Amino acid sequence: MPKSLSLGNGNILVCTDKRAQVRDFYFPYVGLENHVGGHYTHRVGVFTDNQLNWFDHPNWDIRITASDESLSGDTIAKNSALGVTVNFNDTVYNEKNVFLREILVTNDSDHTRTIKLFFGHEFEIYESHRGDTAYFDPINHVMIHYNGKRVFLANGSSENGGFDDFTAGIFNIEGKEGSFKDAEDGVLSKNLIEHGPSDSVIGFYLELAPNESKKIYYWMVAAESIKEALVLNAYVLEKKPEHLVKTSHDYWRAWVNKYNFTFYGLKKNEISLFKRSLLVIRSHADNRGAIIASADSDMLQNGRDTYSYMWPRDGAFSAMAFDLAGNFNVAERFFNFCNNVITDDGYFMHKYRPDESLGSSWHPWMRNGKIELPIQEDETALMLIALWRHYEQSKDLEFIEKVFGTLIKQAADFMLSYRDPETRLPRASYDLWEEKFGIHTFTAGAVYQALTCAAKFSKLLGKEKSEQKYATGAFEIRQAMLSYLYDEEQGIFVKMINVTEGGVITYDRTLDMSSIYAAFAFGVLDVDDARLTRAIKQVEERLLLKTSIGGVARYEGDVYFRDTTGVPGNPWIITSLWLAEYYIARAKNVADFTPVHTWLAWATKYATSSGLFPEQLHPYSGAPLSATPLTWSHSEYIITIVKYLDRLEELGICLKCNPMYQEN
């Protein structure tokens, strides 16, 4: 189930599903320690006229949208059978670890009655049930869940004061379904404490006249001690939850509008999605530097793991997006994270946890009886490319000097030496799609540009010998790409090659959008080169889906998350926007931007109602597939928009179209 909202402040990240129920609650890192886990639920329910409907009941018509220019979400939940409408505004306070829900309850009936609103909590603290406790604190009138240094406190306020009813219980053990069953008669049993797989429910009781509305506030604080949680709760009560909601909205509105882009020629919904994309990737950026790929824990239900890791590749694209929008501090924290985790030999491993430890992997350390590094070398290369673009935007020379020896030089020296002796291309590694082992066009293109960037960094700092060796290495790789990776007969860059010890080269001539993207995005070919024009034609003939949904598949024969036939693969947001970026780069006049606007409209159409991009779409229904949201999809949308604005400036069509634009 795709997530509807992802809300955070860099320390906690809360995700809700399409029924407005909390399904993910990460703390103390963004993406690490999911205390709900995706497979449990924080329910919301309404009881009136002797009937209880939790929000997963079909009587509810629930519509969720993202708040305009704020890291918050709006929910309208209408239940005609109960005669109740509930409006939510959800946010995470930007300064402290508090998840807030501002709730308006309306009695849609023609008679006065009591309407009860229940909030249920199923926790799996530390992602393990062992040792969890839930209890009611009568001194502070709060519900507390804790295990060691992880504490979650639930409270709320209404015209009556705090919540009106409560219970603690156990679930999925000893024949107990959970405390949510206790609410079915509209009265909670007030059980004071439970341990093990413990849950809880709190209730608010409202007397409402016909068509009357009343507001309540609900909040959940996260802390590392009960004392700290109680201090946070006292802070909310002192400052008032409505004040925290307002100041959070004000903060994020100022943050997302830091630079006054003109958005020349773009539609209102495309502009809104640009800002939403910035907020989404910010919610996935931990304050200690990691930018995770996705907080959508539902991936765990379909495989062996989630996307809640920092992939250097995905993070590099997100850092580029932040820099292009002027948010240099988030990008700099990311580069500091990378500076800390790069190996002594100068490469990045597959992926990392937000606490800088190594993430899970399926890449072995040996192939065919020989030791092989379990890496995707494009991840190392993209880091230097992103770092150069960070410098282009920020001009922060002191930061570059600080990380030159430990990050830039380490990585560049590795890439320079880690090459196939026969072709002089980068040695075989795993591809960006994490599937194939070989010498890939995308990886080679990324290494070419990374070494070019390393040469520029060296020149900047007056390191002439380093500049020369990196520039020479880049030249050699580009020449080798044109010699070995371009297929003149097909008119494409091949997906990959492999070279045996005897020098025999085997080709994988699969048409892969990443190979064509690398040719122009990394400067291997001029965008007007006839070889590139021919290759793009092949993409549009063979990878562009002919279904009513459209979009560009990753490569021919892609079966990842595909459950149908008749298509080369599912359409991806990323690869479709790469095609838009090609047309941006080629544009010479206003008319040339027509396909760009077509692709931006396509992307906007297939974002969810709350402004979230999935990884990919179903080729016939357009339904989101795989992780939703995916930060790389949102980052690519931001990058595409800014490249569009920059190109308008280059052509003189829109002066000062992008306040971040500079001639480099």
User: Tens digits of per-residue pLDDT, 500-524?
Assistant: 888 899 999 999 999 999 999 999 9
Which tops the pLDDT comparison, 2 or 274?
A: 274
pLDDT band, very low/low/confident/very high, at 94 (cuts 50, 70, 90): very high
pLDDT band, very low/low/confident/very high, at 664 (cuts 50, 70, 90): very low
Please tell me the predicted confidence (pLDDT) of residue 228.
98
**In the block, which residue shows the tokens 């409270």?**
155
Please tell me the predicted confidence (pLDDT) of residue 259.
81
**In the block, which residue shows the tokens 């932040």?**
322
How many residues does the structure list for the chain?
664
What letters, b where the CB count within 10 A reaches 16 and e where it falls short, cover 300-322?
A: beeeeebbbbbbbbbbbbbbbbb
pLDDT band, very low/low/confident/very high, at 297 (cuts 50, 70, 90): confident
What letters, b where the CB count within 10 A reaches 16 and e where it falls short, cover 493-521?
A: bbbbbebeeeeeeeebebbbbbbbbbbbb
Q: What is the pLDDT of residues 430-467, one digit of tens each?
A: 999 999 999 999 999 999 999 999 999 999 999 999 99
Number of H helices, E strands in the chain: 15, 30
Which among 109, 205, 206 is positioned nearest to 164, based on CA atoms? 205
Angle at 348 between CA 342 and CA 350, to 5 degrees: 135
State how far the Cα of 258 lies from the Cα of 269, in Å rounded to an integer.
Answer: 19
Q: What is the pLDDT of residues 539-557, one digit of tens each?
A: 999 999 999 999 999 999 9
Average pLDDT over residues 554-561: 96
Over 50: is that where the pLDDT of 663 sits?
A: no
Position 353: which residue type? R
Q: Domains in the chain, please, with CATH?
A: 5-255 (2.70.98.10), 269-336+543-664 (1.50.10.10), 363-529 (1.50.10.10)
Please tell me the predicted confidence (pLDDT) of residue 661.
55
Which among 255, 262, 226, 212 is positioned nearest to 94, based on CA atoms? 255
Which among 71, 115, 66 is positioned nearest to 91, based on CA atoms? 71
Q: What is the pLDDT of residues 217-242, one digit of tens each?
A: 999 999 999 999 999 999 999 999 99
